[in-house]
Amino acid sequence: MSGALRVPWAVVGLAVALYVGWAIAPGSALYTDVFNTHRLLALAAVFKLAFLLLGAVWAFGCRDRLEPDNPARPAWFLLSLGLLLTFAGQLCLAPFQLVFGETPFPGPGDIFYVLAYPFLIAALLVFLNAYREAGLPMGSLAERALLVAGVGVVAVVILRPVAATPGPLLDRILTIAYPALDLVLLVPLVLLLRMALRLRGSHAGEVWLLLLSGFVFLCAGDICFAYFQSLGEEHLDPFVHATFILAYALIAGGAHRQLRILKS
Amino acid sequence: MTTRETVDAVVKVLGPYIGDTMARSATEAHCQKLGIAGGASVSPEQIESLLGKLGGGLNIFLGREKSASAITEVRQAITAREAAR
C-alpha cells in the first residue's frame, strides 16, 4: 500500500478507535473535556456522509469505466445507488446530529435506509450472476440450499428476541426490518465470500476483501443497533457508530481499489 | 504443449490479477468444458478457445482493455514456453 493510501486508512482507524474508546471509557477526560456527545455524534455524521458519498461516486466511476455489455456494470451502478440512498438517509439525520446532538428513531432517514437495501441486495446478486455466467465456480445447488437454510436458522435466533420486545409498532417494524434485510443480504454475501477466498493475494481479491468485509460490518452494525435499541442498551451506540464508519469506509475503499484497477 | 503446462502458464500470468487459486480452478474448469484433458497436448485452436473463455471472465474484474492485455500476456507466455521446449 502506498503512503498516500495509508493516510485515509489511518484516519479510518483513528475514527473507529475514537468511538470504541467512547463505548469503553465514556467517563474519561477525552470524552468529557475534549469531545462531548454532541461533538462525537456530529463527527460520526461527517465521517459517514463522507465515506458514503465517496463510495457512491467511486462505484459509479467503476460502472462508467466498464463497457455497456459488461455484466458487472449494472452491479456497480446498483451499488452506487444503494450507497447514494444510504447517504440520503444519513443526510436526513445530519441536521439533528449536527445541530441538536441527537438521532431521531424512527426518522425520515429510515425511508432511505430501507430503500437502499433492495439496491444493495440486487448489486450483490448481479455480481454473483456475472461471475457464475463467466464460468467461475459458485458451489453446487445443495451447498447453496444449505446456506439458505443456515441463514434461516440465524434469522430465527437473531430476530426472535428483537421481535419479542414491546414498543411502538413503527419502532418494532424497523428494528426487525434492518436485521431481516441484512440476513437477506447475507445469502449472496456468503456466496461471494466463498468466491473471494479464491481471489486472495490478487488485485481483484483486495477489492472483494474490502467490499465484503464492509458488508459484513454493515450487517453487524444493523444487528447491534436492533439489539441495543430493543434492549434499551443505547449507551453501547458508540460501537454502532464505529461499525458503520468502518463498514462505509471499507465499501468505499473497495470501490476505489476497483476504480484504480480499471484506470491503470 | 500439455494441458498441465498450459494451465501453469495461465496461472503464472493471471495469478496477480485474480489469485492463483481462482486462475487455476477457472482454467481447469474451462479446459474440462472444452474437452482438453490431463497430459494430452493442446492445439493452438484449443488454446485460443481457452483464452477466449478466460478473457470473458477477466472482463468482469478488469474491464475489457486490461483483460485483453492480460490475455495477450498469457498468449506470449505460452508461446515462450513452446519456443523453449
Gap between the Cα atoms of A264 and B61, Å rounded: 13
Residue B22 touches chain A, beta carbons under 8 Å: yes
A194 interface with B at CB cutoff 8 Å:
no
How distant is the Cα of A264 from the closest Cα of chain B, in angstroms? Answer: 8
So where are chain A's domains?
3-263
pLDDT confidence of B16, banded at 50, 70, 90?
very high
Overall fold of domain A3-263: Rhopdopsin 7-helix transmembrane proteins (1.20.1070)
Q: In the predicted model, what is the mean pLDDT of residues A42-66?
A: 96
Average pLDDT over residues B31-52: 85
Inspect the interface and report whether the beta carbons of B19 and A199 lie closer than 8 Å. yes
Q: How far is A61 from chain B (nearest CA, A)?
A: 12
Listed by number, the residues of chain B in 41-60 with a beta carbon closer than 8 Å to a beta carbon of chain A are 53, 56-57, 59-60
pLDDT of residue A144: 78
Sign of torsion, CA A127 B13 B5 A194?
negative
pLDDT tops 90 at residue A2: no
Contacts of A76 in chain B (CB under 8 A): none
| Segment A139-171, tens digit of pLDDT | 778 887 888 888 888 888 877 877 777 778 888
Condensed to tens digits (0 to 9), the pLDDT of residues A205-219 reads 999 999 999 999 999
Which among A67, A202, A264 has CB closest to B18?
A: A202
CB of A85 closer than 8 Å to CB of A77? no
Q: Which of A134, A202, A262 has the CB atom closest to B63's CB atom?
A: A262
Q: Which residues of A touch B53 (CB under 8 A)?
A: 135
ipTM of the complex: 0.84
Q: Which residue of B has its CA nearest to A64?
A: B63
Which whole number is the average pLDDT over A240-244? 95
Nearest CA to CA, how far is A118 from chain B (Å)?
A: 22
| Chain A residues lying within 8 Å of B22, measured CB to CB | 136, 195, 198-199, 202, 204
A 163-192: CB under 8 A from B: none
Q: pLDDT band for position A245 (50/70/90)? A: very high
Number of domains in chain B: 1
Region B10-32 average pLDDT? 91
Residue A250: pLDDT band with limits 50, 70, 90 = very high
Q: Is A200 left (phi over 0), alpha (psi -120 to 50) or beta?
A: beta
Whole-structure pTM value = 0.90
pLDDT given for residue A230 in this prediction? 75
User: In this complex, how many residue pairs, one in chain A and one in chain B, have their CB atoms less than 8 Å apart?
Assistant: 78
Between vectors from CA B60 to CA A247 and to CA B16, what angle results, nearest 5°?
Answer: 80
* Spacing of C-alpha A134 from chain mean position: 27
Secondary structure (DSSP) of B39-75: T-B--HHHHHHHHHHHHHHHHHHHHHHHHHHHHHHHH
Q: Does A140 touch chain B (CB under 8 A)?
A: no
Tell me the mean pLDDT in the region A97-115: 88
Mean pLDDT of A28-32: 89
| pLDDT at residue A3 tops 80 | no
Work out the percent of chain A whose per-residue pLDDT is above 70.
97
CB A113 within 8 Å of CB A88? no
List chain B residues with CB under 8 Å of A199: 18-19, 21-22
pLDDT-derived band at A137, boundaries 50, 70, 90 = low
| Cβ contact B26–A130 (<8 Å) | no
Residue A207's pLDDT is 94
Cis before A106 (ω within 30): yes
Residues of B in contact with A135 (CB under 8 A): 26, 29-30, 33, 53, 56-57
Q: Is B19 in contact with A135 (Cβ distance < 8 A)?
A: no
Domain enclosing residue B16, as ranges: 3-84
DSSP H helices in chain A: 3-24, 29, 37-65, 73-95, 109-133, 141-163, 169-198, 203-230, 237-263
Supply the mean pLDDT for chain A: 89
C-alpha cell at B73: 500476456
Per-residue pLDDT, A1? 59
**Which of A135, A136, A203 is the closest to B17 by Cβ?**
A203
Nearest-angstrom CA–CA distance, A225 and A228: 5
Return the percentage of chain B with pLDDT > 70, whole number. Answer: 96
Looking at residue B85, the DSSP 8-state letter turns out to be -
| Residue A116 reports pLDDT greater than 90 | yes
pLDDT at A34: 86
| pLDDT tens digits along A60-99 | 999 999 999 999 999 999 999 999 999 999 999 999 888 8
Q: Is B26 on the interface with A (CB under 8 A)?
A: yes
Q: Do residues A185 and A215 touch, judged by C-beta distance below 8 A? A: yes
| β-strand partners of B2 | B41
